[in-house]
Amino acid sequence: MNFTLKVWRQTSSAAQGKMVEYTASNISPDMSFLEMIDLVNLDLARNGHDTIAFDHDCREGICGTCGMYINGRAHGPARGVATCQLYMRSFKESEPITIEPWRAKAFPVIKDLVVDRSGLDRIIQAGGYVTVDTGGVPDGNVIPIPKVVADEAFDAAACIGCGACVAACKNSSAMLFLSAKVSQLALLPQGKPEREARVLGMVAQMDAEGFGGCSNTLACEAECPKEISVTHIARLNREFLAASVK
């Protein structure tokens, strides 16, 4: 398979970027999208050109660092997968592919397809943890938790913090990410003692980072590689309102 790639190139956050066209030749349909970029970079390096910078790590859909816009969609055309789990069989032969970094004020471009997503880390640092001294690791059955609650908390905890929800949102909102982190702890007994301080601190940090507000277009849920439900945003709003009243 052969493809024409239109890739956003930008040497630094201060530089002006532009789209540059490349050819990806002899690509196996079973290659992942990142493996395809690896081959393009190999050709660029052999010819003495600057390779395309992009984030990646585990390549197993767990770390979330592989985020990029592909043909106008976060992580590409396949639903429920990160970019590293997207395979070239999802594209048609000779189809032009446009690749861009996340577009959000809170995600400044570092180079090419690499953006600074540390704003999400600072939201976590503002309250996405439990400080209760629990001692050693307790037995799993010491604190009974209904299965329906445990399942919902686990679904929220599946968020990998890739930022696709922010990139897909027309307002660059981080509400789905934040709501998943708040729900994960608010649902469990271990997270309840600090629930008010947690949600107030994390929402304040989200606003300070420059993320936009939620207008319920549901684009975040549609593009989330872990298919996090927007129902968590409703829980976040309830947690925030209750904490604000107190």
Domains in the chain, CATH or no CATH each: 3-111 (3.10.20.30), 117-245 (1.10.1060.10)
| Position 119 pLDDT exceeds 70 | yes
Select from 157, 162, 214, 218 the least CA-distant residue to 187.
Answer: 157
123-132 confidence digits (pLDDT tens): 999 999 988 7
pLDDT for residue 12: 93
| Position 59 pLDDT exceeds 90 | yes
Q: Which two tokens stand for residue 192?
A: 């309840």
Within 10 Å of residue 130's Cβ, how many Cβ atoms? 15
| Position 7 pLDDT exceeds 80 | yes
- pLDDT confidence bin for 84, thresholds 50/70/90: very high
pLDDT for residue 134: 66
Task: Provide the whole-model pTM.
Answer: 0.92
pLDDT for residue 140: 67
DSSP line for 142-204 = SS---HHHHHHHHHHHT-----HHHHHSTT-B-HHHHHHHHHHHHTSGGGGGGHHHHHHHHHH
Q: What is the mean pLDDT of residues 66-76?
A: 96
37-54 confidence digits (pLDDT tens): 999 999 999 999 999 999
pLDDT for residue 190: 87
Tell me the CA distances in angstroms from 84 to 127, 140, 166, one per residue in order. 30, 33, 19
Long-range contacts, stretch 142-148, CB < 8 angstroms, 24+ apart: 143/189, 143/190, 145/188, 145/189
- pLDDT confidence bin for 139, thresholds 50/70/90: confident
With a CB cutoff of 8 Å and minimum separation 6, the contacts of 104 are 115, 163, 166, 167, 172, 211
